[in-house]
Amino acid sequence: MSLWTPGGEHTPRPDAASDPAAAPPGMDPEHLSPEDRARLEEMQAEMDEVRRQLLQAPAAVVVANHAMGLYELAAIHLTAQAPRLSEAVLAIDALAAIVEGLAGRLGEAEPTLQGALAQLRAAYLEVRGRAGPAAGAVGDDSGPAA
């Protein structure tokens, strides 16, 4: 499994999270100042704590949290000074893929996520209606999947 990071793709070693000397790619801890090494070890300890917390949280809660990030992303694009409808459509469709694709498996957050998706779809139609047909999604004026 690889992870996307701002520095590029990274394939973590299975033991990397528990190895305080392990450093991100391209950062050799042997060449760090004592202060930077201490900072690196502190960041790794924080990441270990985050991993521990994620392991204790039900996956449905974590997935719902990420889904709400997609809601926020769509809302940002819809409410921008110049709405970016094609970007909003992608975020709305991604949220729909989660909410509809995992129906019945999202726990207590499922009704909230369904409502959020409905709100975004309605907001998209409203914004597109105000902007006119020329403002539809690039290459696809059909809007988000219903």
d(C-alpha 111, C-alpha 109), whole Å: 6
Partners of residue 10 on adjacent β-strands:
3
46: which 2 tokens?
A: 């924080």
pLDDT digits (tens, 9 = 90+) for 27-36: 666 788 889 8
pLDDT digits (tens, 9 = 90+) for 56-77: 999 999 999 999 999 999 999 9
pLDDT digits (tens, 9 = 90+) for 75-127: 999 999 999 999 999 999 999 999 999 999 999 999 999 999 999 999 999 99
The residues spanned by each domain of the chain are 59-132
DSSP letter (8 states) at residue 5: E
Q: Rounded to the nearest 10 degrees, what angle do helices 110-131 and 59-79 cross at?
A: 10
Output Rg (C-alpha) for the chain, integer angstroms.
20
